[in-house]
């Protein structure tokens, strides 16, 4: 199957990165290389370093960049972007001019039903691994987490109103047979949500699948733990552009950017700052950039996307 991933807000991302033809840029979520290809087209003596933990994405990105004559500008790293600093050091790169993260699950991952990211194929394995070197899968979480832990992730990561009931029924069901297939989880979720609540909000398993995917792939933890490092990796006037797809991600990015712009912890009535914390730059998006109506018409999966941008400034 062809690796397809609509490059969300492609033009807006290129504008946000303000690409210099001799710059060094990082695509922390390479995917099918849609964004990376456009970055490369704007480089002459510059360089792109692409990270992805999905081997299918790396294979597809490599092919796409070669087909478009851009591969010689690119170094691909098979790793989660949480390892960006150490991997760049291995490449002899201390600072970069721009970093892009597109945090969406790729269309390929969703549409390759055997990967288990989608609730649409009942006989698919409950996998959901972005990095298939991970020994654990979504089934591991369902079969091994306590009822309390399952409730927590469904509430926090899925914002699921019926988290406690779903978790209770998951634990009850696995006593009879361990979870293996998507359909087994769909059945439990469906039975755990009142009929009235299922009339709105889309597929009843949507929030549960989101929660399991986020937990398994440590998505919010990695994002939260890596943002400061990425800002520190930027040259002066370097840009960090991040596309999020749900409120949990967007809140993390928004709050981090705000704190890096204004890190002062002094009481508001202090006449001067005494905490000594210096601003690292400026938020360029007071409100997030949203997809155009045209893009929404071409790709419905863009509808929840938000782009936020931070520019690094001298701390002097």
Cβ proximity of 104 and 238 under 8 Å: no
Higher pLDDT, 109 or 241: 241
Is the pLDDT score of 3 beyond 80? no
Residue 1 — very low, low, confident or very high, per pLDDT cuts 50/70/90?
very low
Looking at every residue in the chain, the average pLDDT score rounds to 94
- Cα separation of 142 and 138, whole Å? 6
Residue 261 — very low, low, confident or very high, per pLDDT cuts 50/70/90?
very high
pLDDT of residue 108: 75
Number of Cβ within a 10 Å radius of residue 8? 22
By C-alpha distance, which of 103, 132, 56, 126 is closest to 222? 103
Reduced to 3 states (helix: H, G, I; strand: E, B; else coil), residue 99 is: strand
- Cα separation of 16 and 254, whole Å? 16
Cα–Cα distances in angstroms (integers) from residue 8 to residues 43, 69, 103, 171, 238, in the given order:
21, 22, 10, 38, 21
pLDDT digit string, tens, across residues 167-185:
999 999 999 999 999 999 9
- Cα separation of 148 and 313, whole Å? 44
Q: Mean of the pLDDT values across residues 69-87?
A: 97
What are the DSSP calls for 75-99, one per residue?
Answer: EEEES-GGGHHHHHHHTT---EEEE
- Cα separation of 166 and 150, whole Å? 9
Determine what percent of the chain is predicted with pLDDT higher than 90.
85
Cβ proximity of 295 and 9 under 8 Å: yes
Residue 4 — very low, low, confident or very high, per pLDDT cuts 50/70/90?
low
- Cα separation of 55 and 300, whole Å? 26
Q: CA-based Rg of the chain, rounded to a whole angstrom? A: 21
pTM listed for this prediction = 0.92
Residue 5 — very low, low, confident or very high, per pLDDT cuts 50/70/90?
low
- Cα separation of 84 and 82, whole Å? 6
Q: Give the dihedral of Cα atoms 280, 284, 286, 289; nearest 10 deg.
A: -140
Cβ proximity of 41 and 20 under 8 Å: no
By C-alpha distance, which of 123, 106, 91 is closest to 56? 106
pLDDT of residue 265: 87
By C-alpha distance, which of 21, 82, 46 is closest to 217? 82
Is the pLDDT score of 314 beyond 80? no
Least-confidence region, from 155-169, 229-243, 266-280: 266-280
End-to-end CA distance of the chain: 51
């Amino acid at each position: 199957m062809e690796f397809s991933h609509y490059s969300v807000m492609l033009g807006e991302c290129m504008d946000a990165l303000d690409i210099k033809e001799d710059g060094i840029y990082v695509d922390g979520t390479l995917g099918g290389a849609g964004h990376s290809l456009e970055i490369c087209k704007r480089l002459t003596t510059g360089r792109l370093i692409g990270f992805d933990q999905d081997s299918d994405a790396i294979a597809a990105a490599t092919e796409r960049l070669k087909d478009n004559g851009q591969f010689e500008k690119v170094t691909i790293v098979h790793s989660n972007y949480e390892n960006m600093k150490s991997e760049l050091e291995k490449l002899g790169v201390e600072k970069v001019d721009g970093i892009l993260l597109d945090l969406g699950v790729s269309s390929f991952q969703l549409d390759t039903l055997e990967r288990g990211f989608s609730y649409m194929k009942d006989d698919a394995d409950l996998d959901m691994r972005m990095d298939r070197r991970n020994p654990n899968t979504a089934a591991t979480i369902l079969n091994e987490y306590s009822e309390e832990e399952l409730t927590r992730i469904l509430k926090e990561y899925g914002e699921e109103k019926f988290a406690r009931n779903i978790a209770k029924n998951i634990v009850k069901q696995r006593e009879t047979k361990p979870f293996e297939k998507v359909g087994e989880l769909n059945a439990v979720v469906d039975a755990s949500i009142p009929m009235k609540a299922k009339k709105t909000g889309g597929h009843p398993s949507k929030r549960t699948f989101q929660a399991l995917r986020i937990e398994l792939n440590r998505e919010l933890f990695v994002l939260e733990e890596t943002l400061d490092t990425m800002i520190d990796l930027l040259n002066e006037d370097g840009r960090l552009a991040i596309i999020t797809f749900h409120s949990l991600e967007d809140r993390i990015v928004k709050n981090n950017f705000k704190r890096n712009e204004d890190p002062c912890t002094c009481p508001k009535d202090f006449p001067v700052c005494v905490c000594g914390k210096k601003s690292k730059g400026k938020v360029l998006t007071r409100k997030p950039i949203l997809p155009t109506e045209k893009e929404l018409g071409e790709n419905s999966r863009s509808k929840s996307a938000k782009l936020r941008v931070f520019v690094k400034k001298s701390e002097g």
